[in-house]
Every structure is written in structure tokens, then in C-alpha cells.
Amino acid sequence: MKRYVVALTGASGMIYAREVLAYFGARPDLELHVIASAAARQVLALELDAALEDVLPAGARLHPETDFAAPLASGSFRAQGLVVVPCTMGTLGAIAQGQSLNLIHRAADVFLKERRPVILVVRETPLNLIHLRNMTAAAEAGAVIFPAMPSFYHRPENLTDLARNFAGRILDHLGLEHRLTHRWGEEG
Ligand SMILES: Cc1cc2nc3c(=O)[nH]c(=O)nc-3n(C[C@H](O)[C@H](O)[C@H](O)COP(=O)(O)O)c2cc1C
């Protein structure tokens, strides 16, 4: 069974995480591991009036962010990809500098050393030089910097439509089949 890791951190944009998690909820053939920082839970409540458990798909394996004994803290754990959605500047910095202060940073560190896909859905505006340098460092180490920048050319009818389309672009980078994204030139 293919395995994926979705990590939530405390940036704005929980609607993207919700849609990515919903996709996995509809794919019981995929094994899903989830980590959430304390700040992620706080922003989930503020933005979506939701607890993590409300958006967690049935069957997902939730790991405490403090659990360095979790399987995904080891390179011997094989998985197809990790996405941090949304990704704070703090988590970006920790990953870029190889600081394994929690399980999210550690899992990203491990995935990068094992040359497995790491997608960082970074979110902040404007960006300072520290953010830009950390993005460069993470990209140089192999991460895909995937700014939380949804598209509008498909004319989203509401926020869910907008977020689903964007979630589909993340799934593209994990190599997952889906029908969430309006594909330019493929309509109809
Ligand atoms: C409502 C809210 C929105 C936030 N949005 C962002 C954001 O978009 N980007 C960011 O880097 N930090 C944002 N923060 C700050 C982070 O949550 C904070 O830096 C936290 O320490 C990050 O911890 P984490 O990376 O472990 O989740 C936000 C905080 C709150 C309460």
C-alpha cells in the first residue's frame, strides 16, 4: 500500500489542508499519516471552527508532533511523499536548517535525506530575506516550494472550489490521480 504523510502547521490556509485530507479520506487504498503542530490546531479552530479530529479522515494515523519514536522519524520507513500544508515560516526555517525540533521537521529531514518528495505549501506575505533564503535552502536540499497561491483563471465559484483546485495541484506533485483540478485546455 502506498503511504503519504500530511503535516499541518500554524499558517493561514487550513482550507487547503482540509481538502487534501478529504482526498485521502476518499482513497482508503492509500495509507495516510498525519502530524499537526500545536499552532496548526489553533489556526484550524480560528479559520474553520474545526478541531483536527473533524478534518482527519477515518483510518488516518495521527502522530503527536513530539513523538520522535514514530515510524516516520526513521529513513527505514518507506513512503511516497510528504506535504506540509500549510507551512509556516517557522517550520520552513527549521526544515531549511535541519533542525529536528518536532516530528514534522524530523520527517521532512528524513524524506530529504532519503530523496523522497517533500512539498512545502509555504504561506506568508510579504516575504523577508530570511524567508527567501530559507526557501532557497530547502529547494536546494530537494524540497518543492509550493506557495499557497491558488489560481483564478478557472473562475472558482466559492472558496471550496478554489481550495480543491489548489489541493489538486499539490496531489499532482505527489503523483496522485484526482479530478479536483480544472486543467487548462482539457475542459470538457
Ligand atoms: C491565525 C493565525 C494565522 C497565522 N498565519 C501564519 C502564516 O500565514 N504564516 C506563518 O508563517 N505564520 C503564521 N502564524 C504564526 C504561526 O502560527 C506561529 O509562528 C507558530 O509558532 C508556528 O508554529 P509551527 O510552525 O510549529 O506550526 C499564524 C498564527 C495565527 C494565530
Q: How confident is the model at residue 13 (pLDDT cuts 50, 70, 90)?
A: very high
Domain assignment present for residue 167? The answer is no
pLDDT in tens, 86-113: 999 999 999 999 999 999 999 999 999 9
pLDDT at 184: 80
Q: What average pLDDT does the chain have?
A: 96
Residue 170 lies in a domain: no
In a domain, 117, yes or no: yes
Residue 100 falls inside a structural domain: yes
Q: How confident is the model at residue 182 (pLDDT cuts 50, 70, 90)?
A: confident
Considering only residues 185 and 21, tell me which one the structure prediction assigns the higher pLDDT. 21
In the prediction, which pLDDT does 9 show? Answer: 98
* CATH number, position 117: 3.40.50.1950
Is 175 within a domain?
A: no
Average pLDDT over residues 49-63: 97
Ligand 1 atom 28: residue of nearest CA: 11
Pick the atom of ligand 1 nearest to 42's CA: 31
> What's the gap in Å between 91 CA and the centre of ligand 1?
9
pLDDT tens, 119-178?
A: 999 999 999 999 999 999 999 999 999 999 999 998 999 999 999 999 999 999 999 999
Query: Which H helix or E strand runs over 24?
Result: helix 14-25
| Global confidence as pTM | 0.97
How many residues appear in the chain?
Answer: 188
Task: Quote the domain boundaries for residue 15.
Answer: 3-157
Cell of 155: 473562475
Asked, for residue 173, whether it belongs to a domain, the answer is: no
Is 172 part of a structural domain of the chain? no
Mean pLDDT, range 4-16, rounded to an integer:
98
Name all contacts of 108-113 with Cβ < 8 Å and 24+ positions apart: 108/7, 108/82, 108/84, 108/143, 110/72, 110/73, 110/74, 110/75, 110/77, 111/5, 111/79, 111/81, 111/82, 112/141, 112/142, 112/143, 113/75
pLDDT at 187: 65
Percent of the chain at pLDDT > 70 equals 99
Per-residue pLDDT at 46 exceeds 90: yes
Residue recorded with cell 500530511: 6
pLDDT band at 183 (very low <50, low <70, confident <90, very high): confident
- At 185, the pLDDT band (50, 70, 90 cuts) reads confident
- Please say if the pLDDT value at position 186 is more than 90: no
Query: Which pLDDT does position 176 carry in this prediction?
Result: 96
For the chain, how many structural domains are there in total?
1
Ligand 1 atom 1: residue of nearest CA: 43
Instruction: Kindly give the number of the ligand 1 atom that is closest to the alpha carbon of 9.
Output: 27
Our mutation pick for probing the ligand 1 site, out of 84, 88, 105, 106, counting the most ligand atoms within 8 A of Cβ, is 88
Which residues have C-beta atoms less than 6 Å from ligand 1?
9-12, 37, 39-40, 42-43, 46, 88-91, 123-124
In a domain? residue 31 = yes
